[in-house]
Structure 1
């Protein structure tokens, strides 16, 4: 059987399954909407039905949610700066990702949700926005989308590409199709050599894959965050402060128990608590109140009062500056089997880092921080508590950790330059004048 015929059969089977699941997408949006109202809006974008006029000549970046948007921010800023005459389209899948795009760039970029991976929908998306170059961030491997980009003549790269061993195993049923889709790419800019090898194992050609490093090292550290932290400390005084960041539902009871344990030693200890998802803000507040802690929230008061034991950060896009207000950070998604969250953010702000063992989404960063002595990776809630207690008690240990972390972040820069170099020829081709007619 020819390769083209095999591809067609695989695509037909994959698309047929997705069409069967279309009613499930409606149920999913409604179910998520009960928890986060934004999921009940803008459905037309998810099915590639647009009321706006078509665009031409866009540069397109796809970043699924908040973490990917933050990772792509240096790249998007560079594209806006170096190609100001072109419209930049940024797509996401989640409302929190959408909100982050608007917070960072407002009307400087176009933004819609990426449609579901059905042939007709992705073709309508491409016909409407007519991208001339696509940059997909991290691990969004949608076969019909990649094949449609090839058929529309859109060069596509996966940038800041990561693929954990677990994700690779998860693709095993779709591997024949995904492998063919990967070979339509212009290139894969992998975060690490391990990520690059896994992309090749999944089906990419070795000559498609380059190791460019992790764009998260390129994060912008706003000097205003340090000023905010100084102001915060002046207002709360000499109280010790720790932050529980990007926590998930099964970690919430752990956070409450850890805070109770730590306050037994430091009665004036303040917890800054930033749940990962907006639908968990209220649950965190309630859990804190139920535990008997005086609780304030960011939306009601900019600063915690002297009597507050917990301050819930129930806003988006402010985590980085609150990291700098704490002596120690617990980064969530790591006691629950989520895969961890960005450890470089507290590293860049000078906050000592404690995390749980589930770090498969950030394995390379965790290894680098671990080798530098810049993170404490603990195995369970009890040992996380031990590490928090030790670091709150030992300023010298915190200083050693944070100095090592900041050095690592500074030394890790360069991924942005290498990524731009990788796509430079395609960017240059967009700006080249048309060839004269003979």
Structure 2
């Protein structure tokens, strides 16, 4: 018998199927996706601050496309307007899932993350406007510090925590989904120019066809991929930022399984499963590679704290997001019927609020569309990077402290003790259950 030929991996070539499956599985995790994104940002920063920075600028300025269709874009714009659409398509699917079966499926469940996210966008924007008003700066960048980078935030949380409640990650995910929706609405409403009704009408018609294909259970990528490209191109030529088309298609995709048709996964679930590795391992890192390359020198770093625009972004990310999200969560719990998950403490919420100050991908995108001056955009991008780094550092300290507390609780429970170190058996009456509860252990969580 002849042995089956072994798969060979080729350097810079196509990986064997088994290895491709492993890479895709890894990229579906927040940790790996965040690390790939971080690596791309570091490469961009190093490349842009070396003697070879001219080659970096030349590469991202190369134009190609189809001029007859209005699609003659630079490499930088292809990554921002084209590839990043995949990221927003995945975000749209996540939002649809939250709306139909997740934390936004009922008004009572949706109040808390929506109020927290809205406050987490309003307060940073207000801080930015206050800074530029006091310093006489450019007010058009007010939306830059509003957005949270969910990939980075979840990656930090995944790396640092092993014993934190799962409710914390769920709250952050729901919060970030609402935050992404708010950011893309801001881009669509405030940063659209030269609207073309005919092209936008064509994009809307394409979305209607997309919906009908879903409604009649039409399957096959050969229907959806060409249609999606047409919708994207019409949206771009319609004067609206093309990434809006990704969110729209994600919201149209059906995210509930049709049990009668024997579906083992909904179209939204299948699309997210296939596209998340593409987004995390290719689209977002390439965008970061051509967007994060800013000059970092002592004069530029000094301007971050002296010019109103970068200072407003810096304060908005580090302080505004923390204050806005924490205050919004507290006000929602205090004055509405919303309730904080019983597994979470307010210290957990504060750590999460600080973590939400990591504003990378969407913040860089908004910087590019809101600052026409490349020099000003470079300073603001540097402020985004520094602010995200500071927020990540402070959040890491807070998250690690909370993780140690929950680890001690977990270890105490495994030893049969309560949080105060007293064995549960010592709290048992000879003839019944522990004091303080109808049928079990007396829990002490006040130290949290």
Give the alignment's TM-score, normalised by structure 2.
0.23
Q: Which has the higher contact order (CA 8 A, sep 6+)?
A: 2
Query: Which structure has more strand as a fraction of its residues?
Result: 1
Query: Which structure has more helix as a fraction of its residues?
Result: 2
Give the alignment's TM-score, normalised by structure 1.
0.23
